[in-house]
Amino acid sequence: FVHKNEINNKDNKYVSRFLSTELSIEKFKYLKDYIKKKGLLTSCTPFDENSVKLIEDMKFDILKIASVSSNDWSLLERAAKNNIPKIISTGGRTIDEIDKIVSFFDHKKQIFAIMHCISIYPSPDETLQLNVISNLVKRYPNIKIGWSTHEDPENMLPATLAYAKGASIFEKH
């Protein structure tokens, strides 16, 4: 996410933040293997086509498409070339765009889930639009619907309400 012209920009706090969390492939593999050893499923989010290949090579259990990439059709095409189950976040997407995503992955015979997501960090309660979850459950009865949350970590009520609305997968940021 750091443009090559910004890599040495000490005035941009986001550059140092992203670079400070960068892992080598070896450390990344160690972390993935450790999670697997603990009996948990592993997931990984690619932001380009080369990263999909890395996810395949490392044998992740789930491939997660971020909201920002959910209409990146070259990435989606590449991601659909494997049989790794997908979780697709839909923050900022219209229902027509979500219909296209669902149609695409259905057509490609993929196993996938859709995550309702509000792309505000953190998300105030009044922005959560939790009724969208029940609407997605009705609209796509054969697809698991989840809730990707960005609200205050201490606030458990939205996740409880999301569950009551039909969410069966949860991702908390």
| pLDDT average, residue stretch 74-94 | 97
Q: Is the pLDDT of residue 144 over 80?
A: yes
Contact 79, 48 (CB under 8 A): no
Please give the model's pTM, rounded to 2 decimal places: 0.88
- Give residue 166's region: left, alpha or beta (phi > 0; psi -120 to 50): left
> What pLDDT shows up at residue 20?
83
Each residue's pLDDT tens digit, 91-143: 999 999 999 999 999 999 999 999 999 988 888 889 899 999 999 999 999 99
Q: What is the pLDDT of residue 1?
A: 61
Separation of alpha carbons 45 and 168, rounded Å: 20
Q: What is the pLDDT of residue 92?
A: 93
Confidence of residue 84 (pLDDT cuts 50, 70, 90): very high
54-65: pLDDT as tens digits: 999 999 999 999
